[in-house]
Amino acid sequence: MKLTVTTDDDKVMQLDMDTEEVVENLKAILEVETAVPLSNQRLVHNGKELVNASKLGASGVQDGDLIMMISGGGAAAPAANPTALNADGSAVDPIAFQNAIKANPQTMMQLQAQNPALAQALQGTDIEALQSHLRKMHAAQLAHKQQQERQQREHLALLSADPMDMEAQAKIAEMIAQKNIDENYESAFEHTPEAFGRVTMLYVDMVVNGVPLKAFVDSGAQSTIMSASCAEKCGIMRLLDKRFAGVAKGVGTSKILGRIHQTPLEVGGKHLPVSITVLENQDMEFLFGLDLLKRHQCCIDLSENKLKIGSAGVAVPFLGEGDLPMHLRGEEAADSSASAGASSAGGVVAAPTGGATAQGSAPASTAAAPAPGGVDETKIANLMNFGFTREQAVEALSVCNGDVDQAASLLFG
């Protein structure tokens, strides 16, 4: 039988072997052809390593099969890209390819809806059936690409008949640009198909005032946010401080009803004190923002898929798509979370209603002007915590001779 052997350095060899030959004899021939010692060779057939003492026929090797020779002793290093494909469309490492796709529930759901035959092949145990299906898909894509190129050549020939026609030249430029886009798409789909799967946003289970919630973890949101309806459900609206009403500014705007300064929150069996900004209209019920992530020394660990809370010494797993209610799944969840993060990306700024206007103020650390007259920076920071700008805080403290209480009364009045 004739075998095709590929090496690490992309060398391809055609060998004629008997089905009764043992694998070790094949390695001996390859040692002569490649100068790689027999002991440093690993032969892989259909995702399985061939054993030296086994016969080729008994190992499932058939006429026309492809065998990969991996150089180096010991366990082989995992492929840099488990979903890499050969020139004929088959997977370089079908076992790794199968495991990588099956490990992504979103990708499997998409395949079941768009390509059920491939999804079934991935879930089965017949590796050769999977490889055959991948080759057929590649052949179909290649035929489609060739048909498109032929149509484009014919179209270009017609358009090029009059090189002075500006409209024809514009269409030629458009076709060339579209061809580049299509090639980029095909390359991405071939080498990184996982990029076309849907990503589930980061949610964890939390309990606010005894009410269980699915909290959206967003490190791009400056403040922790809760919708008014959720605050009502949790029974904490009675604690709302309306002096901190204002406008949340970012990509869009939303009205801030006020702030709840201290709220009991339980996560992973531990209780944390939190301060929550309440918005009038907010699609996201509860958004765990950067202020609490920093205060409680949190770490978003995607390798373990957990939110680690350093101050409490606990780690809670991020929820899968199946653990979320329908309104938080899929595109709707992505849209609402993007809106929530965008509304706070520029800084959720709560301006007290006593005369000060809500505006996006820079963080205290970025203020350039020093406090005049030796005004205490701590006092300025205290007033800025109430939502006033640095300029307002400095001016009030200057008028009140540095008395922070009088300055706060002046600003609130």
Least Cα distance to 86 among 131, 143, 141, 146 occurs for 131
Least Cα distance to 235 among 268, 263, 199, 256 occurs for 263
The predicted model scores a pTM of 0.43
Which distant-in-sequence residues (6+ apart) come within 8 Å of 208 by Cβ? 226, 234, 236, 263, 264, 265, 266, 286
pLDDT of residue 307: 92
CATH entry 3.40.50.2300 includes domain 203-349: no
Catalytic residues: 218
CB burial string 112-122: b at 16+ within 10 A, e below: eeeeeebbebb
% pLDDT > 90, the chain? 9
Q: Which residue has the higher pLDDT, 409 or 276?
A: 276
% pLDDT > 70, the chain? 79
Tell me the C-alpha distance between 319 and 333, whole Å.
13
Least Cα distance to 287 among 212, 221, 228, 207 occurs for 221
Domain edges within the chain = 2-77, 102-196, 203-349, 364-412
- Kindly report, residue by residue over 322-371, the tens digit of the pLDDT: 788 877 765 443 444 444 443 443 344 444 443 333 333 333 333 333 44
Q: Which residue has the higher pLDDT, 197 or 371?
A: 197
Q: Which architecture, in CATH terms, is 2-77?
A: Roll (3.10)
- CATH superfamily, domain 364-412, is Ubiquitin-associated (UBA) domain (1.10.8.10)
Tell me the C-alpha distance between 158 and 404, whole Å.
80
Over residues 219-247, mean pLDDT: 88
- Kindly report, residue by residue over 25-63, the tens digit of the pLDDT: 888 888 888 888 888 888 888 877 888 888 888 888 888
DSSP 377-409: HHHHHHHHTTT--HHHHHHHHHHTTT-HHHHHH
Lowest mean pLDDT among 175-179, 291-295, 314-318: 175-179
